[in-house]
Amino acid sequence: MGSGRATAVRAVSVAVIAAGALTLSGAPQAQPAAAPPAADAEHGKAVSYTCLGCHGIEGYKNAYPMYSVPELRGQNADYLVIALHGYRDGDRSHITMHSQTESLSEQDMADVGAYLAGKPLVASGKTAGPVPQAAQLCVSCHGQDGIAVAPIYPSLAGQHEDYIVRALNEYKHGGRKNPVMKGFAANLKDEDIAQVAAYFSRLTPALATEPRPYTRLGAD
């Protein structure tokens, strides 16, 4: 969910001060990071054919434990790339997702993210009633209408309720290692998690399932 804009501002301020100190001391400057690859959604469509074996089926469930596979259509492409990195690099624990991502290049991830996201959701300003107390911090990053305030955060509007519950529990218990989310989720009780999931899952416009192309054996 995130710890809010104040934490982000403090983090940026610390980074700026540190950079200034390096400049004044004559320390070598870090080279600018390489620009991310331009995404090719058509290539992403080809690469992600196995993704749709789960994410392309309406109502598909992960087994053992059982929870809904997340909807990805309308999600932020930047966030999808971050999530793919997490599964590939072991910051998220899911054996199937790890095996699916370990062979993906940076370009592949950018392309898959662009294809699966489609056209990201646009903020509507609509809410599902008052924001529950447990979700007050969540909306600073994920938006009161469930549309993320920045592309690096996931939009949650219309996401499966049981998937949000599962994700929060993974952050709480170490299955996902994002330090900000881990710290936030650590303080949530089961009833808090249920409130957060119920709130975001009811919001619209909503994320959707990218339909898996129907194929028929023997078709021309």
Q: What is the DSSP string of 77-117?
A: HHHHHHHHHHHHHTSB--HHHHHHHTT--HHHHHHHHHHHH
CATH of residue 185? 1.10.760.10
Angle, vertex CA 153, rays to CA 148 and CA 159, nearest 5: 65
Q: What range does the domain containing 98 cover?
A: 36-201
Q: Is residue 4 part of a domain?
A: no
Q: Is residue 150 part of a domain?
A: yes
Query: What contacts 185, CB < 8 A, 6 or more positions away?
Result: 1, 168, 169, 171, 172, 193
**Residue 175, pLDDT above cutoff 70:** yes
**Residue 49, pLDDT above cutoff 60:** yes
**Residue 142, pLDDT above cutoff 60:** yes
Q: Is residue 19 part of a domain?
A: no
Three-state secondary structure call for residue 28? coil
pTM: 0.81
Inter-residue contact 125 to 55 (CB < 8 Å): no
Q: Is residue 29 part of a domain?
A: no
Q: Which of 49-53, 77-81, 148-152 shows the lowest mean pLDDT across its residues?
A: 49-53
Kindly state the helix (H) or strand (E) to which residue 61 belongs, with its residue range. strand 61-62
Q: Is residue 27 part of a domain?
A: no
Q: Is residue 101 part of a domain?
A: yes
Q: Is residue 58 part of a domain?
A: yes
Q: Is residue 106 part of a domain?
A: yes
In the chain, how many domains are there? 1
